[in-house]
């Protein structure tokens, strides 16, 4: 049955541990988007990989079923704000990890000017100074939907709300 506390990993490690180009690329993303460690980058990369894999597998389905699966996937990515409203199915296959990292709450808090740096935005989120709509979210990796993007503010009980 398994231990209920033992959840499945949400990421895959790189196959080869020491590849200089890959390591430098990961470190660049960690610094640019204020990630805590490489595991966060790998999670976002795995999430994108699952979406792209679903898109590739949908091409092998019968035409009507493939169209349905593709539309559901495109609508989900549009709702998350990863794709634009006029995107096509080919755009799903051309997504990069950076597109997903831009939709994280930590990135959007910094871009809206609520924090001085990416690391400051992470601290504000973890210390529960930020809310999206009426909900306080304490996870910097939360993917913000397009309609929620304007609702990112300081929590009313936060000392930063009055400043």
Which whole number is the average pLDDT over 8-21?
91
Q: How confident is the model at residue 162 (pLDDT cuts 50, 70, 90)?
A: confident
CA pair distance 131, 133, nearest whole angstrom:
6
Question: According to DSSP H, which parts of the chain are helical?
Answer: 20-33, 38-58, 63-80, 89-93, 97-101, 105-111, 118-126
* pLDDT tier at 1, thresholds 50, 70, 90: low
* Selection from 117, 154, 128 nearest residue 162 by Cα: 154
CB atoms within 10 A of CB 147: 10
At 34-69, the pLDDT tens digits run 999 999 999 999 999 999 999 999 999 999 999 999
pTM over 0.85: yes
What does the DSSP assignment read for 16-30? Answer: SS--HHHHHHHHHHH
């Amino acid at each position: 049955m398994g231990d209920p506390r033992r959840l499945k990993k949400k990421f895959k490690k790189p196959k080869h541990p020491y590849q200089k180009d890959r390591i430098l690329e990961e470190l660049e993303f960690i610094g640019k988007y204020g990630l805590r460690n490489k595991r966060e980058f790998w999670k976002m990369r795995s999430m994108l990989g699952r979406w792209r894999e679903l898109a590739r597998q949908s091409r092998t389905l019968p035409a009507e079923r493939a169209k349905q699966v593709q539309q559901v996937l495109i609508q989900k990515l549009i709702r998350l704000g990863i794709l634009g409203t006029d995107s096509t199915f080919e755009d799903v296959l051309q997504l990069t990890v950076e597109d997903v990292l831009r939709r994280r709450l930590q990135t959007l808090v910094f871009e809206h000017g609520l924090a001085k740096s990416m690391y400051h935005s992470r601290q504000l989120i973890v210390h529960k100074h930020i809310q999206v709509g009426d909900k306080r979210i304490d996870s910097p990796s939360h993917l913000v939907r397009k309609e929620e993007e304007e609702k990112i503010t300081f929590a009313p009980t936060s000392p930063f709300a009055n400043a």
